[in-house]
Amino acid sequence: MEMAFCFEQNSSWARLLTAIHGHCWDDSLPCWTNASGTWSSIVQTINNLHIQHSMDTSLLRLHIGNGQQANFWFDPWFNGAPMATRFPRLLALETNKNGVVADHFHHDSWVHSWRRNPRSGVEVDNLNSLQDILHNVTFTSDNDYWTWDGGSFSVSQARHIIDEQHLATFSRPTSWCRQVPIKINIFIWRLKLLRLETKANILNRGMALEDDCCNLCNLHVENETHLFLHCDTSKEIWLAISQWINLTLPNWSSFNDLWAWIDGVPIIRNQRLIVTTIVFSSLWSIWRLRNNINFKDKSFRKCHVVDNIKVNGFNWLFSRFHKKRCNWNQWLQSPLYSL
């Protein structure tokens, strides 16, 4: 049940944010769902995380002092879960749903305003369990107070929790290749995270597309692995590259295979530098070909791709090694021996 986090009802998160930033309980935050502004964005974002079960409600605890601030049914004031979640059948019988905890305690005993008395079965079991919980509640003269994950709230901890849930992780550290331009490094970084704007990724983000088909072959769903590694067009390109550099390229089943191959192929250091550059140039050229076909730009065609890979590789590599004599013919004939 998400009612505890419904911000139209002066919710727990709104109260937490109020408490964190030192306002009194009655201060209102611009956190109505139809409001605009920073607070509204923060509150709605966290609310969405909760609804998506991306953030555990037990992180947020409300501790009872005098019981004058905590909503009896909707605030998580006992073991991190609202009574409304624990006992929905009793909530349905409650006539004072918005009362605070202290409203339910008069003359040293707990009182409720049931629409009718709980009947046998689940309702009575719920009532017995509720009474067991309430039996252990003690009040103090202090205000009720919030804690975050057992301690004080910190933005960095909240961000860490959110990042863990939402950001892609990549087991291998991203290393910048100094021999290729920044835009290529960024392209490769996004490719490693599988975050390029392929049709599969665009559809996953809920955007409308006419189809999800790879425009290089018109046969398969266009995702990164298919487009760059498995598509017949890409395989033709890799075969041509393999023949050019005189090195057998495996049929990589995934990008992890590809990155592992670059790191592990038995060649000397300078040759690994060259192979990395050529692989990056190949991936970039396949992406360019894909974009030009998708956007009906005929300036860059399939027949240009391999030549483009050679030109880019040469320019990237040798423009950053000024002291090396660069020889275009050497590059064309045996690129792995160019440095």
**Contact set with Zn ion (CB under 5 A):** 214, 216-217, 231
Nearer to Zn ion, 216 or 241 (CB): 216
Q: How many Å apart are CA 35 and CA 283, to the nearest integer?
A: 45
Nearer to Zn ion, 230 or 272 (CB): 230
- What is residue 156's three-state secondary structure? helix
Using only C-alpha atoms, what is the Rg of the chain?
31
Nearer to Zn ion, 191 or 231 (CB): 231
Find the shortest distance in angstroms from Cβ 227 to Zn ion: 6
Both tokens of residue 307? 């030549």
Q: How many Å apart are CA 17 and CA 41, to the nearest integer?
A: 12
CB 99 within 8 A of CB 71: yes
Q: How many Å apart are CA 123 and CA 116, to the nearest integer?
A: 11
Residues 6+ apart with CB under 8 A from 176: 185
Both tokens of residue 72? 């009896």
Find the shortest distance in angstroms from Cβ 234 to Zn ion: 7
Q: How many Å apart are CA 233 and CA 236, to the nearest integer?
A: 5
DSSP class of residue 109?
E
Find the shortest distance in angstroms from Cβ 305 to Zn ion: 14
Q: How many Å apart are CA 298 and CA 288, to the nearest integer?
A: 11
Q: Alpha carbon of 126 to those of 4, 119, 120: distances in Å?
A: 19, 10, 10
Nearer to Zn ion, 235 or 304 (CB): 235
Nearer to Zn ion, 217 or 339 (CB): 217
Nearer to Zn ion, 284 or 318 (CB): 284
Nearer to Zn ion, 217 or 273 (CB): 217
Q: How many Å apart are CA 233 and CA 305, to the nearest integer?
A: 11
Angle subtended at Cα 114 by Cα 116 and Cα 145, rounded to the nearest 5 degrees: 165
Find the shortest distance in angstroms from Cβ 232 to Zn ion: 7
